[in-house]
Amino acid sequence: MSHSIILATNVDAAPARVFEILSTTDGQRAFWTSDCEVANDHARFGFEEAPVDLTVSVHNEEDRMVRMQVQSGFPNWVGSTWEWELQPNDDHENCTTVIFRHYGFGEEIGENDLGGTAQTWAMVLHHLANYVATGVPRPYFAASAD
């Protein structure tokens, strides 16, 4: 059985702006984790409480898709892929529908872990929408002040 997560939301910006956020270090730091480095073909995501970083290969389709495949990191995530698909929202000018998918988890991932991962991604997507709307960075995983 293949496990996957699919989420969607609308954000108040054109696809080009959302793509810029999703495909850059500054953008990812503003809504997801303040400890990351994103390049055109690879990225690293760190989390204060996690014992390992996620390293991923990156594939971008300008203004349409940011896809990341896990090379190393969390158990049951290696080989999995998450992607942010961007579609203009025809109902609202200057609005983008973001369809988020995470698929290809290891077969041994439990429902509890999958459900927790889905909940976390939903919160990350909420932070993305807030950042797009306000321009105020507030990563879901922020480094603590020392």
pLDDT at position 1 is 53
Average pLDDT estimate for 119-145: 94
Enumerate the domain spans of the chain: 4-134
Average pLDDT estimate for 62-83: 96
pLDDT at position 93 is 80
Residue 5's beta-bridge partner residues?
Answer: 102
pLDDT at position 106 is 87
Report the interhelical angle of 15-22 vs 111-134 (nearest 10°): 120
Query: Where do runs of H (alpha helix) occur along the chain?
Result: 15-22, 25-31, 111-134
Place of tokens 């983008």: 96
CATH of domain 4-134: 3.30.530.20
pTM: 0.94
Q: Residue 133: enclosing H or E segment and its boundaries?
A: helix 111-134
User: Is a pLDDT exceeding 70 seen at residue 22?
Assistant: yes
